[in-house]
Amino acid sequence: MSYKNFPMVPRVVFGRGSFNQLNDIIAPKRLSSHAPFIFLVDDVFKGNVWLTSRIPLSYQDKILYISANEEPKTSQVDELVEQLILTNKELPSGIIGIGGGTILDLAKAVAIMLTNTGNASDYQGWDLVKNPAVYHVGIPTISGTGAEVSRTTVLTGPERKLGINSDYTPFDQVVLDPELTKDVPKDQWFFTGMDCFIHCIESLNGTFLNAFSQSYGEKAYDLCMEVFMDDALSAEDSQDKLMMASWHGGMSIAYSQVGVAHAMSYGLSYLLGTKHGIGNCIVFNHLEEFYPKGVTTFKNMMRLHKIELPQGICASLDDHHFDTMIDVALSLEPLWENAIGKHWKKTITRDKLKALYQKM
Give contact residues for ligand NAD (rule: CB under 6 A): 42, 44, 68, 71-72, 99-103, 105, 141-142, 144-147, 150, 152-154, 180-181, 183-184, 188, 192, 195, 275-277
The CB-of-59 to ligand NAD minimum distance in angstroms stands at 28
Instruction: Please identify, using beta-carbon distances, which residue of 219 and 276 lies nearer to ligand NAD.
Output: 276
How many whole angstroms separate alpha carbon 258 and alpha carbon 182?
28
Residue nearest ligand NAD, CB atom distance: 101
Closer residue to Zn ion (CB): 65 or 126: 126
Asked whether 112 and 162 are in contact (CB, 8 A), the reply is no
Rounded CA separation 2/339 (Å): 22
The DSSP H or E segment spanning 212 is helix 211-229
| Binder of residue 74, out of ligand NAD, Zn ion, none (CB less than 5 to 8 A by kind) | none
Q: How far apart are CA 205 and CA 199, in angstroms?
A: 10
Minimal distance in Å, beta carbon 342 to ligand NAD? 25
By the criterion CB under 5 A, which residues form the site for Zn ion? Answer: 195
Cβ nearer to Zn ion, comparing 92 with 170? 170
Of ligand NAD, Zn ion, none, which one sits near residue 148, judging by CB under 5 to 8 A according to partner kind? none
For the chain, what is the radius of gyration of the CA atoms? 20
Phi and psi, residue 120, nearest 5°: -55, -35
Side-by-side strand order, sheet with 161-165: 125-126, 161-165, 154-156
Nearer to ligand NAD, 35 or 240 (CB): 240
Shortest Cβ 285–ligand NAD spacing (Å): 17
User: Least distance from C-beta 89 to ligand NAD, angstroms?
Assistant: 31
Closer CB to ligand NAD, 58 or 69, in the complex: 69
User: ∠ at Cα 273 (153, 201), nearest 5°?
Assistant: 60
Alpha carbons 359 and 195: distance in angstroms, whole number: 20
